[in-house]
């Protein structure tokens, strides 16, 4: 492990099927005005909304409702939410939902008292907040993004056709998150598998980089094996609590910065996927699934040893008598069969992209340099075309 680093994570987690009981105690640390952030209605249908409102009322809180956070929250919605928070002197932003609600809450936290245009400041110029920040907390209903224990906040700007994430610091990360695997049971299967692929890809993005012997890579392999095993159980039986709880916990650890310690990280699948998302508004995990195999096939020769290791350690490929290329290829084939068993999308065409969008998607793709190969624009175009 050759990199130097610090590690700190300020988010307190409550995990398990009784975890909501800690909400009351946590709420006592904040003032009266709670902005209750939720999405398009799943928490009303499941009954979770009523449970949360009952706790807030018992604690004497004033609820400022902020409903209708869409999947892939937009810059317009952010401006509305920031205004609501500012006008109501909100003391805590409580997100109840998936990564979109949680990401949105973080964006509102740094935008309510921001004098500038938050989209321009945080997502175009990547500046850090220099205003008052409202605390954020999360009750998670979808496992995938890791937003419950990180500083990430992804916002989509439809008029500019851009979807961009900003990773904020400790002061924006949720103060606490409540993780009850039972809340994820009402997810439609398509969302469940999309979240599962998101988890797996977060691990890949941090795994496929570096040449040194690094503890982070061993932890990453263990997390990948856990998510593969539990996903196959959950796909057959979504009601399996043990599998769903492993998936939820793995999602948190896949992206709370632990497994990136001492490493460069890649994140190019996310950059490609986010650009596809900016054009199609497709489900996040599906955009990643659709570009992954063409991308990994493309970079495999540059990180061959790691791809061979991935095949052996994660997928159990027997390397005896085979070249590294053969072993690595078998690993990617195993990945593809697993993706097919999950039922994730393998083509950006199925998500609404077409040939005429390729140049625009390539323009919207931010090229990062932490992986095994720094892509040039022609390579981005080639990978996108292969993903169609």
Interface residue list for ligand NZQ (CB under 6 A): 39-43, 71-72, 97-101, 103, 141-142, 144-147, 150, 152-154, 165, 183-184, 186-187, 191, 195, 198, 255, 270, 284
Could you identify the residue written with the tokens 């909100």? Answer: 90
* Closest to Zn ion by CB, 148 or 198: 198
CB nearer to Zn ion: give 134 or 271: 271
- Please state the closest distance from residue 327 (CB atom) to ligand NZQ, in A: 29
Using CB positions, name the residue nearest to ligand NZQ.
39
CA dihedral for 209, 212, 218, 219, sign (positive or negative)? negative
**Least separation, in Å, of the C-beta of 37 and ligand NZQ?**
10
Token pair recorded at residue 69: 């956070």
Residue 195 touches which member of ligand NZQ, Zn ion, none, C-beta under 5-8 Å by kind: ligand NZQ
Residues 109, 93 contacting (CB under 8 angstroms) = yes
Closer by beta carbon to ligand NZQ, 23 or else 327: 23
- Assess contact for 23 and 139: CB atoms under 8 A: yes
Across 84-117, b (16+ Cβ under 10 Å) vs e yields: bbbebebbbbbbbbbbbbbbbbbbbbbbbebeee
Question: Which of the choices Zn ion, ligand NZQ, none does residue 245 contact, using the CB cut-off of 5 to 8 A by kind?
Answer: none
Q: Looking at beta carbons only, is 72 or 265 nearer to ligand NZQ?
A: 72
Q: Which helix (H) or strand (E) holds 235?
A: helix 215-236
Whole-number minimum distance, CB 343 to ligand NZQ, in Å?
16
Q: For residue 321, how many other CB atoms are within 10 A of its CB?
A: 6
Question: Smallest gap, in angstroms, from Cβ of residue 291 to ligand NZQ?
Answer: 13
Query: Tokens 């740094």 identify what position?
Result: 110
**Which listed option, Zn ion, ligand NZQ, none, makes contact with residue 72 (CB within 5 to 8 Å by class)?**
ligand NZQ
| Binding partner of 252, given Zn ion, ligand NZQ, none, CB within 5-8 angstroms per partner class | none
Q: Which is nearer to ligand NZQ, 13 or 255 (CB)?
A: 255
Closest approach of ligand NZQ to the CB of residue 270, in Å = 6
- Residue 116 Rama label (left phi>0; alpha psi -120 to 50; beta): beta
Instruction: Specify the pairing of strand 162-167 against strand 152-157.
Output: antiparallel
Strands across the sheet with 12-15, in order?
A: 12-15, 176-179, 136-140, 92-97, 33-38, 62-66
Pair 345, 290: CB distance under 8 Å:
yes
Q: Which does 230 bind (CB under 5 to 8 A by kind): Zn ion, ligand NZQ, none?
A: none
Q: Which does 282 bind (CB under 5 to 8 A by kind): Zn ion, ligand NZQ, none?
A: none
Kind of pairing, strands 92-97 and 33-38?
parallel
Beta bridge partners of 139: 96, 178
Nearer to ligand NZQ, 103 or 313 (CB): 103
| Residue 98 binds: one of ligand NZQ, Zn ion, none (C-beta under 5 to 8 A by kind) | ligand NZQ
Q: For tokens 């699934």, what's the residue? A: 289
* Nearer Cβ to Zn ion (103/198): 198
Supply the minimum distance, in Å, between the C-beta of residue 296 and ligand NZQ. 17
294 binds, among ligand NZQ, Zn ion, none (CB under 5 to 8 A by kind): none
Pick 244 or 284: Cβ nearer Zn ion:
284
Asked if 48 and 141 count as a contact pair (C-beta separation under 8 A), the reply is yes
CB of 351 to Zn ion, least distance (A): 15
Query: What dihedral do alpha carbons 325, 205, 350, 99 form, nearest 10°?
Result: 160
Q: State the residues that interact with Zn ion by CB under 5 A.
A: 198
Instruction: Give whichever of 23 and 154 is closer to Zn ion, judged by the CB atom.
Output: 154
Per partner kind, with CB cut-offs from 5 to 8 A, the member of Zn ion, ligand NZQ, none near residue 97 is ligand NZQ
């Amino acid at each position: 492990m050759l990199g130097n680093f610090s590690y700190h994570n300020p988010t307190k987690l409550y995990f398990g099927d009784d975890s909501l009981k800690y909400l009351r105690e946590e709420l006592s640390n904040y003032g009266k005005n709670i902005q209750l952030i939720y999405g398009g209605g799943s928490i009303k249908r499941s009954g979770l909304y009523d449970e949360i409102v009952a706790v807030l009322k018992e604690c004497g809180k004033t609820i400022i409702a902020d409903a209708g956070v869409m999947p892939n929250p937009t810059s317009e919605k952010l401006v509305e939410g920031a205004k609501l928070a500012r006008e109501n002197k909100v003391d805590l932003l409580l997100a109840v939902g998936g990564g979109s609600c949680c990401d949105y809450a973080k964006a509102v936290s740094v935008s309510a008292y921001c004098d500038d245009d938050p989209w321009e400041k945080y997502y175009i110029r990547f500046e850090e907040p220099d205003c008052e920040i409202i605390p954020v907390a999360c009750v998670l209903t979808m496992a995938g993004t890791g937003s419950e224990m990180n500083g990430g906040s992804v916002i989509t700007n439809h008029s500019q056709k851009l979807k961009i994430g900003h990773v904020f610091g400790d002061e924006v990360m949720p103060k606490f998150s409540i993780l009850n695997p039972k809340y994820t049971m009402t997810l439609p299967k398509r969302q469940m598998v999309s979240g599962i692929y998101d988890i797996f890809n977060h691990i890949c993005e941090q795994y496929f980089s570096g040449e040194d012997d690094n503890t982070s890579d061993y932890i990453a392999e263990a997390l990948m094996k856990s998510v593969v095993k539990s996903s196959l159980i959950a796909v057959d039986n979504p009601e399996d609590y043990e599998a769903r709880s492993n998936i939820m916990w793995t999602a948190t650890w896949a992206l709370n910065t632990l497994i990136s310690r001492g490493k460069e990280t890649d994140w190019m699948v996310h950059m490609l996927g986010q650009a596809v998302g900016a054009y199609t508004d497709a489900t996040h995990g599906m955009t990643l699934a659709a570009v992954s195999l063409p991308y990994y096939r493309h970079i495999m020769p540059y990180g061959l040893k790691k791809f061979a290791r991935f095949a052996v350690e994660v997928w159990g490929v027997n390397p005896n008598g085979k070249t590294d290329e053969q072993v690595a290829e078998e690993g990617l084939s195993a990945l593809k069969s697993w993706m097919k068993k999950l039922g994730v999308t393998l083509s950006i065409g199925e998500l609404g992209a077409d040939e005429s969008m390729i140049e625009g998607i390539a323009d919207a793709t931010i090229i990062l340099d932490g992986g095994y190969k720094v892509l040039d624009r022609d390579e981005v175009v080639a990978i996108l075309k292969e993903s169609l």
